[in-house]
Structure 1
Amino acid sequence: MMIVISEFMDETAVASLRDRFEVIYDPALVDERPRLMERVQQADALIVRNRTQVDRALLSAARRLKVVGRLGVGLDNIDVAACQAHKVEVIPASGANAAAVAEYVIGTALVLLRGQYASTDAVIDGRWPRTALLNGRELGGKTLGLIGCGYIGQLTARLARALGMEVIAHDPALAADDPALARIGIRLTGLEELLATSDVVSLHVPLTEKTRGLLGRERLASMKKGAILVNTARGGIVDEKALVELLKAGHLGGAAIDVFAQEPLPAGSPFTALRGASNLILTPHVAGVTQESNKRVSAMIAQRVGEFLAGQGG
């Protein structure tokens, strides 16, 4: 049986698959759609990250395809309904990158609240911007608001609680008496209360029709003055233009954005207006990617895809 891997994967995990299957490992395929479409024609399994579009056209070309392994958890690049129609199993790496995402949220919140870590060049040059940097804020005693409180959100809450934060969450899928909430120390609340009272707001929801544009201009403006927004979920949930305007106006204290409505950012993106801003951290969809998480995610998908194919007679 043949496995096609179209984006980067830990080499040890790739080698483990090669021991049992024919493997085409070519991370360049994600950017070469015609070659990808040709390769998948003989594929029994396809392993992707978040950029390979597993759509109806690809599924129609991949007539032997039995399973798609997702090196991550978001499925918005995979047409799940079409996979079901083609009887193609979809296997995400649930939980394997949670620690990386949770640490990113807490780490960027610390940096943005403190606001003192962009002074390296000034200090090297002999300038001493101490007076300008006396207004840093501590994380302890602040309130973290989680929009979405699944596994990653709950792990983020554990880290936040360990640093002395209060944690509230908005998640219609959870019951107020869910034992996990009491165990960690999370209070469920309405979205409007969360936005109005949180010092740090972190998004942990998938991109769906219900969450698209969830934080538009009005809701962003309703956030507590000086609050920090962290988005490691998906682009399209936050109105990027409104976010930039509220950062420029000083209503929001900062933002760490790892995901965008269009990736990579197009020319003329709203964020261009904040080039060099000390209260903005932009990263290229890597919050869940570390050396450790890549190994965990890759090992999990290699094992589960391998087991699935073995069960199919591979």
Structure 2
Amino acid sequence: MGLPGWNDDDHSAAFAAFRASCWAARAPGMAEVCRKAQALGSLDEARARAFFEVNFRVEAAPEEGVLTAYFAPEYDARSKPDAEFSAPLRARPADLVTVDAGMFDPAQAGNQGAAMNVLGDLLPYPDRAAIEDRRPEKVLAWMRPEDLFFLQIQGSGVLTFENGARVKANYAGNNGRRFVGIARPMQERGLLAAGDTSGEAIRGWLAAHRGAEAQEIMRLNPRYVFFKLSPDDGQQPVGSAGAPLPPGRAIAVDPARYSMGEVFWIDATAPVLTGAFPAYRRLALALDTGGAIKGQARADLYLGLGPEAGAEAGRVRHSLKMYRLVPRAAPNS
């Protein structure tokens, strides 16, 4: 296919991920390719590679962007608050109304927004600071503040309570505010070592300065996420496409640019964070979305469950070129 690094990918693993989730695809021509994959069963490396080369053509994104990564964290939680576990994991509030974001910002028309009904008027939903300053409507668990902050960034995770019970914390909505990363302002304030804005470094600083200092920094991001709990089944989380996320093969993309279930080749090099892998070149499936994932050459790579995946995800910030693999039967875009 002439793609950088194409010959070095594990096409058998990529085919397995495609076969398991292609039913969620809505892009033109994908249903027929999915039926072929389902009929074939598992394939070895050579046959899997041939499958993609025969059934897809390549369309390159016209611009260069950024690859980041995310994971499903595992955190301790408590059923009652204490000095350490002081942050409430809030359920979706009853007064949150989903609206078109263009209601408050015409530039965001077509995206999902949030509002609250005040005496018959729909007003923008409060930001992080205002939400944290009001009494929780329903508390699902109590967490360390920095853990809750990172759980909100990742969108889902697993919680372990003091009695050993494990549950999944699943995304249930957000306040419609724009996501603002805190790495840059922390670096500008000299709070992080030069060149180290990894997730590990940020979380370490927040934990070491738990209280008013850390809260001030976290409130630079006005976006707030609400959750719901479900039993921990030991499986990977489900993305926006409704399919489980295969680690290392699922990406979050901008839904205004791409459809769920589309197939991509990502070519990510030139990392800017210390300790990062030099490159990520692989087939990946668009199975999720994210508040900070906007643009034609922007993707967030899902790396799996737990601290090891989290350590890797926190170091991913690479220059990205994206190539869309379009079913040959689909019309040219």
Question: Which bracket does the TM-score occupy, shorter chain normalised?
Answer: under 0.3
Q: Which has the higher contact order (CA 8 A, sep 6+)?
A: 2
TM-score (norm 2): 0.26
Which structure's residues are more often helix, by fraction? 1
